[in-house]
Amino acid sequence: MLAASMFASLKLSLNQKINREFIGYFLISLLALAVDLGSFSFSLRILDFPWFISAVIGFCAGVFVTYSLSIFFVFSDRKIKNNKIAEFSIFISIGIGGLLVTQFILWLGIELLNLHPELTKMAAAGFTFLYNFLLRKYFLFTTS
């Protein structure tokens, strides 16, 4: 009985931590999305870059915000905390996978469906958010 109670308490504590991390990551992702989307739109509309180049510029700006805020405010557990270069490299690698997801959705929306680029970018952000959170949580921000 005592063991079951302790297990239930531990499970509740773990769920609360995952929920707190998910909400924290979601909030910093909103800020990173604003930076990403602003950079994307500026590059596309003002600098007249193609959408696929603008998406890379936005990605680079957004990933800097996401990484910085993730390690300082969201995730307390980090698998490779002592090797920041390796941690950042994995973070970027996962982000590049997310960028490929974004590029595919942008191509589909802009080129095939003739949708507005910024609206397509926002739709892509939802898919990319889940992809990035799940992989980064598993590979970087848990203890072994």
Mean pLDDT of 112-124: 94
pLDDT class for 6, splitting at 50, 70, 90?
A: very low
The verdict on residue 48 lying in a domain is yes
pTM: 0.77
pLDDT at 47: 97
- Mind listing the pLDDT tens digit for each residue in 95-106? 999 999 999 999
The verdict on residue 127 lying in a domain is yes
| Count of domains forming the chain | 1
- How far apart CA 47 and CA 97 sit, in angstroms, is 26
The verdict on residue 38 lying in a domain is yes
Do 90 and 142 touch, CB atoms closer than 8 A?
no
- How far apart CA 116 and CA 100 sit, in angstroms, is 19
- Mind listing the pLDDT tens digit for each residue in 56-82? 999 999 999 999 999 999 888 888 878
CA angle 138, 140, 144 (to 5 degrees): 70
Q: How far is CA 115 from CA 7, 51, 101, 105, in A?
A: 50, 12, 17, 11
Range of the domain at 86: 18-139
pLDDT at 16: 78
